[in-house]
Structure 1
Amino acid sequence: METPQPSPSRMTPFSGHPIVVAVVPHEPELVALTAASWSQAAGGVPVYFAYVDPTRFTVEEHADGTVRHADIDPDAVDDSWLERQEQIEASLTHVLGDSGISWEFRYLAGRPDRALTHLARAVDAAAIVVGTRAPGPGARLREVVEGSIAVQLSHHQHRPVLVVPLSVVDWQTPLWR
C-alpha cells in the first residue's frame, strides 16, 4: 500500500479549520501569541494547544484528539503530569487573556510528531504551529539526538508546519568574535 502524499486534494482550508499548537512548559509566550494571531486572521478558528509528554505512553486515542496515557514505568506512581498540565493551562490562560480566541488544551503522550499528527487529524486542523527549540546548554545535542519536531512533522503528515523562531542568529555580528 502506497503512503498518501501531500497534494491539492488533501489541503485543509485555513478558514473554518482549527490550528494545532505544540507547547512546552515555560516556553516563551510568542508561540501562543502567534497561534492566536493566525486564528484571528483565519476568522477566529479554534486553537488546540498540546503538550506531548515523552515520559508517558498513549494507551488509547479518542476521536476528539484526547488520549488516555500511562507512565512508562508501570510500578511508578507519578502524578506530576497533573501539576504540569495545570501549570501549562494557567500559563496559556494568562498569555491569551482577552484575545477572544476559542482554545482548548490537550495533554498527549509519546512521540511528539505522532501525537501532534493524531490530534491534527482528529480535529481536522489546517496547520500545526511549533516553536524552535529554546536555546541553552545541551539544546544542540538534544536536537541532533532527538531531531527537530518541525522537521519530523513536515516529513510525516500533509499539513503545513509553521515554525516560530524563539532564538535567532544575528547575521550582522561576525561569527569569529
Structure 2
Amino acid sequence: MSGTSVPQPGLERMVPFPGHPLVVGVTPGQDPLVVRTAAALASAVGVPLFFAYADTSRFVVEEHPDGTVRHSSIDPDGVDDAWEDAEAALRDSLADLMRDDDLHWELRYLAGRPDRALTHLARAVDASAIVVGTRATGTGRHLRDLLEGSVAAHLSHHQHRPVVTVPLAVVDWKEIRAPWATR
C-alpha cells in the first residue's frame, strides 16, 4: 500500500448544484429514462448537461482541460473512423430526446473505462453530480457485474461527486437468492 493520501469526500469538496453542470453517462440504445431524468434534474436546478459516452474500444491519447480527449482505436488494424458514425448517431438520438427542452447540452465522445472518463469530464467541467443508469438485466449480467463491477459503484467509490443512479430494471425481492441456495 502506498503512503499517498487520496482526497476524500467532505463539505469542503462539495460542488453546489446551482451553477454547476451535470455529467450524464450515456450509451447507444440506452433507455431514454436516463436522459429524461437528467434533463428533469438539470431543468429544476437550472444547469446545463454534459452527456458523455466512453467508447471502450478506444484509448485516451491526450486529455484536454475542457474534458474532451484525443483518442485512438485499441485495434491497430481496425478502421479508425467508425467512431464518428457512432458519435453522430448518439448525437441525433440525444437531439430527439432533448428537442422539447430549453436546456443547454453537449455530447462528449470519450474513450477507455467509463468510470474514469466520466470522472475526468466531471472534474474538467466542475460538475455538481454524475448521472448514470443501471445495467439492463439479462443473461450474463450477474457475471459481468461480479467481474467488472458497475460504473455507478466504481464512480461512488473513486471520486467525490454524488452519483445519481437511474434504475432501469427492478428485481422482485422474492427472486433474489443467495449464491449457494438451490431451487
Identify the TM-score tier after normalising by the shorter chain: over 0.9
Deviations 1:13-52 (A, max 9, x none): 0001000000011001000000000101112x01000000
User: In angstroms, what is the RMSD of aligned CA positions?
Assistant: 1.5
After superposition, residues 137-156 of structure 1 pair within 5 angstroms as 137-156=139-158
Deviations 1:131-164 (A, max 9, x none): 0001222222222221111010011100000000
Name the SS for the 2:175 alignment partner: coil
Tell me the equivalent position of 2:9: 6
CA distance in 2, matches of 1:137, 1:89: 29
How many residues align? The count is 174
CA distance in 2, matches of 1:51, 1:146: 18
Tell me the equivalent position of 1:37: 40
Deviations 1:110-142 (A, max 9, x none): 111111100000000000000000122222222
CA distance in 2, matches of 1:141, 1:91: 30
1:79 CA displacement:
2.1
* Letter paired with 2:53: Y
After superposition, residues 13-162 of structure 1 pair within 5 angstroms as 13-43=16-46, 45-162=47-164
Deviations 1:45-85 (A, max 9, x none): 01000000111000000111100000012232232211111
Name the SS for the 1:4 alignment partner: coil
The normalised TM-score by structure 1 is 0.94
Unaligned runs of 5+ in 1: none
1:2 CA displacement:
1.2
Please list every run of at least 4 consecutive aligned residues from structure 1 whose deviation after the TM superposition is greater than 4 angstroms: none
Name the SS for the 2:108 alignment partner: strand
Choose 73-82 or 23-32, whichever is displaced more.
Answer: 73-82
CA distance in 2, matches of 1:167, 1:82: 30
CA distance in 2, matches of 1:8, 1:79: 43
Name the SS for the 2:83 alignment partner: helix
The normalised TM-score by structure 2 is 0.91
Choose 138-147 or 84-93, whichever is displaced more.
Answer: 138-147
* Letter paired with 1:96: M
CA distance in 2, matches of 1:146, 1:79: 28
Name the SS for the 1:133 alignment partner: coil
CA distance in 1, matches of 2:40, 2:50: 14
CA distance in 1, matches of 2:172, 2:62: 45
